[in-house]
Structure 1
Amino acid sequence: MTDIAIIGAGMAGLVCAQRLTQAGYSVLVVEKSRGLGGRLATRRLYGTWADHGACYLKPKGELFRNFVQLLCDRHILEVWADATQANSEPRYIAPAGMSAIAKFLAPGLQIELNQRVTAIHPTPQNSWCLTLETNAELTAKALVLAIPAPQALTLLAPLGADVLGREFIDNLSSVEFYPSVSAIAGYSATSAALPSWKDRKFTDDPVLGWIGLDSSKRPHPQQPVFVLQSSAKFAQLHLETPDLQPVGKDMLQTAAQRLALPWLEQPEWMQVHRWRYAFPSRPWKNPVLSATSAIPLVCCGDWCGGYLAEDAMISGLAASGEINHYLRQLPLPNMDFLKFFT
């Protein structure tokens, strides 16, 4: 029996877990993937790595700016300089990949990777029992779901309104997401001259949403690597497409035409990833969404109050406060990350 189980090891889940662990609770984080970070995702491939989820951070609030500054001081983040955007607000990238942010948040936490939760039910002992894909079970006095709302709904809907509350189920059901397809493409080091820009955003394009020269983030890139993100409309068309390679080729062909860079159509290698829940199109209005169950249960994530990594962090902090309120009400670490992680 652990005090708190957290499903999801993205920004929200890790921040929540770290704060509750430092307060003195026993916390177990369960993550279905083999790595940390959620959409702070870095894929290692062909002797390099690339960010195929969130590609940079652009802090807005003071709390997140302090966190970003801390990561810069630790040489985890740095400014992504681009002469074509000299007058814009700074954007921050991780030379070692965006998943380095999640790794920074993880020390001291008990995390089980490659563990998919398949069912949740209350026990007579007034705790939550989580069944894993391996048929193993774990129990906790409180539960945090730090995953996209539709995934949380899949796990929670079988419990019904009698356990969780009709309003909670309706609110969770109201959250909707846009999908996205990310294509990572590597090119010969002797490819035609690289563009002067680091990235380009496409507005109202039927196929593309964004393209970035991912290798410009790396300290000693061996070859040019681009990351392309599709439009939501294009991703929706291919939500159930089994083979995504032709989808990635369509994206490269479109980018080659839009940017007048014909060699973009001929990568040395390419990998494609589908994000079924990429960006909240209808987020929940508050930082957390709490059930009215007898046993504490809270949902959090970037879909609570926004859609960015910054919103995920704020939501994770709010979830830690909510869970603490339901349990022993221990003194929580200061929400200022400059103190929180020193």
Structure 2
Amino acid sequence: MNIGIIGAGLSGIVAARDLTRHGHTVELIEKSRSVGGRLATRRIGEGKADHGAVYFTVRGEELKQDVADWQMKGWVNVWYADPYPRYVAAGGMNALAKRLAEGLTFHLNERAETVTTGAGQVHVRTDVTARQYDRLIITSPLPQTLDLLADFPVDAALRGLTYAPTFVGLFEFESGVTIGPDGILDTDLAPGMLKIVNNRQKGVSATELVSVYMDESWSEEWYERPDEDTLCEIERLLQTVTGSAVIQSSQLKRWRYAQATDVWNESFHKLEHYPIYLAGDVFLEANDASGRTRFESAYVSGIRVAEAMC
């Protein structure tokens, strides 16, 4: 089959790998300039900073087997364990996405604009061209997915799922700054702060780059304010931890759909009567005890939706 996948985040990449191994022709459409989605890393000067997923954990056997292979290849390593291992990617989380996507066909900087069906195929119109597929998987955040499927009968409960935004401030320090014993603080922080990460201590950066993640309620409150004001406030809060350490530069990243506030209790969803499948981290297996979106839920969703097509 000729299969299209909208969204080249982890779910899309995992699904594409499995479908390609089974002999299908697969291509990914990605609106950004890189694959990975929230496996995101930014280069700042001589350093690198993760500003999406901070780390990932492993519960299920399928991911455990893949992670063992990734460790042998030097793609990932254990950052710290408290009480279970937190894994990070060598060179930043986006480096893992790029390694997993090697050999796949993808179209970057191309935004899907409409999805229609006819003559037994799914038609995707992008801002670049028109593409046709036998099957289509959509892995973008649900609000974006549902915009594409506005004319399709989608379960009303799916349309009711909501997402919260997150701001991430990226700060380059002139000299050494220590963030906790392992490079992360996520307790006893100023109101609004979710976690602070030193990417050098994490093993990602050669320089002092600190990522500051703000919580959902703070990010909602500040989302419509000017970026400059938002970044200044995050810097002020960060200095309650770093004191007089000198900040050399700063940047702001906003994730509009950072975290689903609800989840869907199946690992993917097929539209009734249409060869269109929805997947991504919001789609959790029914026995998933965590009840929240994460790296592993995206990974498992990609596997399951590929299995359904093979």
Give the aligned partner of residue 219 of structure 2.
235
5+ long unaligned stretches in structure 1: 162-167, 325-329, 331-342
The structure having more radius of gyration, on CA atoms, is: 1
Give the aligned partner of residue 193 of structure 2.
208
Q: Which amino acid aligns with 1:79?
A: V
Which of 147, 153, 162 is the matching residue for 1:176? 162
Task: Return the alpha-carbon distance in structure 2 between the equivalents of residues 95 and 234 of structure 1.
Answer: 31
Task: Return the alpha-carbon distance in structure 1 between the equivalents of residues 102 and 68 of structure 2.
Answer: 19
* Aligned-residue identity in percent: 27
Distance of aligned partners of 1:216 and 1:104 in 2 relative to their CA distance in 1, 3 Å threshold: same
Aligned residues: 303
Give the aligned partner of residue 126 of structure 1.
120
Task: Return the alpha-carbon distance in structure 1 between the equivalents of residues 18 and 144 of structure 2.
Answer: 24
Task: Return the alpha-carbon distance in structure 2 between the equivalents of residues 148 and 87 of structure 1.
Answer: 30
Q: In the TM superposition, what are the counterparts of 1:95-114 in structure 2 within 5 Å?
A: 95-114=90-109
Which of 86, 89, 93 is the matching residue for 2:84? 89
Indicate the RMSD between aligned Cα atoms, in angstroms.
1.9
**Runs in 1 of length 4+ with deviation above 2 angstroms?**
191-197, 202-206, 217-220, 238-241
Cα shift at 1:203: 6.8
Q: Deviations over 1:1-34 (max 9, x none)?
A: x711100001100000111111011111000000
Q: Deviations over 1:80-122 (max 9, x none)?
A: 14xxxx6521211123110122112112211111000011111
Distance of aligned partners of 1:31 and 1:91 in 2 relative to their CA distance in 1, 3 Å threshold: same
Q: In the TM superposition, what are the counterparts of 1:310-321 in structure 2 within 5 Å?
A: 310-321=296-307
Task: Return the alpha-carbon distance in structure 2 between the equivalents of residues 285 and 14 of structure 1.
Answer: 21
Q: Deviations over 1:30-74 (max 9, x none)?
A: 000001111111112222211000011121222212222211111
Task: Return the alpha-carbon distance in structure 2 between the equivalents of residues 193 and 206 of structure 1.
Answer: 21
Give the aligned partner of residue 337 of structure 1.
none
Give the aligned partner of residue 251 of structure 1.
234
5+ long unaligned stretches in structure 2: 285-291
Q: In the TM superposition, what are the counterparts of 1:20-99 in structure 2 within 5 Å?
A: 20-81=19-80, 88-99=83-94
Give the aligned partner of residue 199 of structure 1.
184
What is the TM-score normalised by the length of structure 1? Answer: 0.83
- Aligned-partner SS, 1:273: strand
Distance of aligned partners of 1:256 and 1:274 in 2 relative to their CA distance in 1, 3 Å threshold: same
